[in-house]
Amino acid sequence: MVRLAAQSPFDEMTLGETGLIERASANIVGARKRGGTMTVLATPGTVLNSTDVLVAIGTKQQLDGLKEFASVEAS
């Protein structure tokens, strides 16, 4: 699982707009939202919010890449 940064540049963007899938090559299968609700079977149209927790599967290298890319703070 990967938590988006509190000041994430991906806040209010769709998963497809973020480029997370292409850059990390991990399969993002869901997102836990604030309040505990869960989006299962995330699609490119799934809207992300800062502090969402992404649920992903992949190799250690893919998941490490996703963590590195997704936890970037907005400047």
Domain spanning 2-70: which CATH class is it, in words? alpha beta
Residue 72's pLDDT is 61
Contact 58, 28 (CB under 8 A): no
List pLDDT tens digits, range 4-25: 888 888 999 999 999 887 887 8
The pTM of this model reads 0.81
Q: What is the mean pLDDT of residues 59-72?
A: 85
Contact 45, 71 (CB under 8 A): no
